[in-house]
Structure formats: C-alpha cells, structure tokens
Amino acid sequence: MTRGFLRVFLTVCATLAMLGAAASQVSAQDAHVGPHPSHVHTGTCAELDPTPTYPLNDVAPVAPDAPEGSVEVAHTTIDATLDELLASPFAINVHESAENPGNYISCGEIAGPVVDGLLLIPLREQNDSGYSGIAALGVNDAGGTNVSVYLASGLHGTDAAVGGVSTPAATETEAATETATEAVATEAVAVNIADFAFTPQVLEIPVGTTVTWTNNDSAQHTATAGNGAFDSGVLAQGDTFSFTFTEAGTYDYICSLHPNMTGQIVVTG
C-alpha cells in the first residue's frame, strides 16, 4: 500500500465534509447516530449474501460531541488482497445498528479502476436512511487491504439504492469520488532513476505529497535520506519506492551504492 493512503483518506473526508455542510436535513427518517456495523459481503447490493465475508470496524462519529451530519468513519485492515476482492462480486454494506442489523443503511459494490493502489467506491443510500458516502480500499505492504468507510447523513435527498440507475444522489457521490481520484493524480510526484542520476535532482513539493522513485537503470540503486527520514533499500531495475512527506523541511538524499548520486526534496508548509 502506498504511504500516501492517509493523504487520500483526508481528501475523501474533506470532500464528504463539504457535502455534509450543505445538507440541511436527513431524508425521510431520522439518522441513527453510530456506531453502525459494517462488513464486506459476497454479492451485489441488490443480491447480498447476509452472512458477512470480512468484518469491518463499526462506522462511528469521529467524536462523541460531533454535530449531526458530520462524517462518520471506520478504518479496517482485512486479510484479502484488492485483486481478490475485485475478482468476485463483493460489496461493502453498512447496518443501522447492532440492535437492528437487518436494516441496511448504505451499500456499494467493490468495483472500478484502481489508481495508485487505491480504489474509491460510492456508498449509496439504502432504505431511505439518509446515509451515503465513499469507501477507500488500498493495497498494503502486508498483502491485505486497508478499508476506510466515510459516511454522512443528509448528503442527498433521494437515492435509488441499487439496480444501476444513476440517481441525483449516486451522481453526487460519484462526483466526490472523481474529485478524490483527481487529487491522487495531482499530488503524486515521480523521480526517475536513470544514467546514474536522480531526475529531477531538486524537487520542491508541498507537505502531504507522495514522491515515487522508479529505477529505470540497469544498475541497482537506493534513495537514502541523509537524516534517516526514508530509505528505499536496494532497488533493482523496474522497482519503485514511495514516501509521503508529512513535515516541511529540506531532505538531502543519495544512492548509498553510488554516493556521487545526490538529490534534494524541498517540502514547503
């Protein structure tokens, strides 16, 4: 999993927060304030196996005093690869409560393009609950999948929950997904390793940017920070290494195998 996943989580959360701020009321029924049990189920939202395949953590407000309409979240790591989840029909389903698990409040099929190791899917409103949002699924280094669910009440007025019909609610959620995906593309920066040089040699980026080094040389190289902030280890031809810069500063780095190869990352606040 790319270490920029946290940055994408925050982008998604901010997108939902902006949508939630514009909402004035929950559709049809009062929203049940979390926790909401959630799971990965086999099947589609229209034909869901009621027995969970992979349990997820409960979706809950970020704070006990969070106002109504605030984004509710859950972060879980499951023992299945993203490729495995995409190979068969699976869906993420959120329930009203542990006391009323039979009432499904939001659901989304695990499908779509994977961008930079990340899959974003819309979670559509179910049973007139008023809840919808986005789930972010990302590859992690241990071979599993990081799953984050972002849900909010009152985002949309109506939403046909399933059936492939594009309703206003589904369209707005898909737009939020597209916005977050575009953020991934614009905040990822590449450094090319070739001809015993880092290109660009000096790079200026804002805090939160993920830099990916790719070794396109026939020789092995590393990207090793002088202050110990990051170290790619040995990269063979075609290997990549990514690091997300969360603190401002100047990071000088070298190839530890060829110390004459130098680079610099300038991170601005």
pLDDT at 155: 52
Which ranges constitute the DSSP H helices of the chain?
5-22, 82-87, 168-187
The number of folded domains in the chain is: 2
CATH number of the domain residue 209 falls in: 2.60.40.420
The verdict on 141 and 258 lying in the same domain is no
| Res. 178: pLDDT tops 80 | no
- d(Cα 188, Cα 184) in Å, to the nearest integer? 6
Which residues does 40 contact at the CB level (< 8 Å), separation at least 6?
52, 53, 54, 56, 78, 80, 85, 90, 91, 92, 93, 110, 147
Could you say which of 147, 165, 186 is where a domain stops?
186
The verdict on 95 and 49 lying in the same domain is yes
DSSP state string for 198-244:
EESSEEEEETT-EEEEEE-SSS-B--EETTSS-B---B-TT-EEEEE
Reported as a single tens digit per residue, the pLDDT across 46-91 is 999 999 999 999 998 877 776 666 788 889 999 999 999 999 999 9
The verdict on 223 and 256 lying in the same domain is yes
Mean pLDDT of 206-212: 91
The verdict on 63 and 112 lying in the same domain is yes
Asked if residues 253 and 231 have their Cβ atoms less than 8 Å apart, the reply is: no
The fraction of the chain above a pLDDT of 70, given in percent, is 72
Residue labelled with tokens 């605030």? 70
Asked if residues 60 and 73 have their Cβ atoms less than 8 Å apart, the reply is: yes
The verdict on 40 and 127 lying in the same domain is yes
- d(Cα 126, Cα 110) in Å, to the nearest integer? 16
Residue labelled with tokens 């982008």? 11
The verdict on 31 and 154 lying in the same domain is yes
The verdict on 142 and 171 lying in the same domain is yes
pLDDT at 240: 94
| Res. 3: pLDDT tops 60 | no
| Res. 15: pLDDT tops 80 | no
Q: Give the range of the structural domain holding residue 106, as residue numbers without chain letter.
A: 5-186
Of the two residues 187 and 86, the one the predictor is more confident about is 86
pLDDT at 139: 87
The verdict on 174 and 212 lying in the same domain is no
Cis peptide before 200 (omega within 30 of 0): yes
Q: What integer best gives the mean pLDDT of the chain? A: 78
Could you say which of 121, 155, 186 is where a domain stops?
186
Could you say which of 153, 186, 219 is where a domain stops?
186
Reported as a single tens digit per residue, the pLDDT across 99-154 is 998 899 999 999 988 887 888 999 999 998 888 888 999 988 788 999 999 888 76
Residue labelled with tokens 């499904």? 104
Reported as a single tens digit per residue, the pLDDT across 244-266 is 999 999 999 999 999 889 999 99
The verdict on 205 and 166 lying in the same domain is no
pLDDT at 48: 92
This prediction's pTM: 0.52
Q: What share of the chain is helix, strand, coil (3-state, %, to 5)?
A: 15, 45, 40
The verdict on 167 and 203 lying in the same domain is no
| Res. 191: pLDDT tops 90 | yes
pLDDT at 14: 47
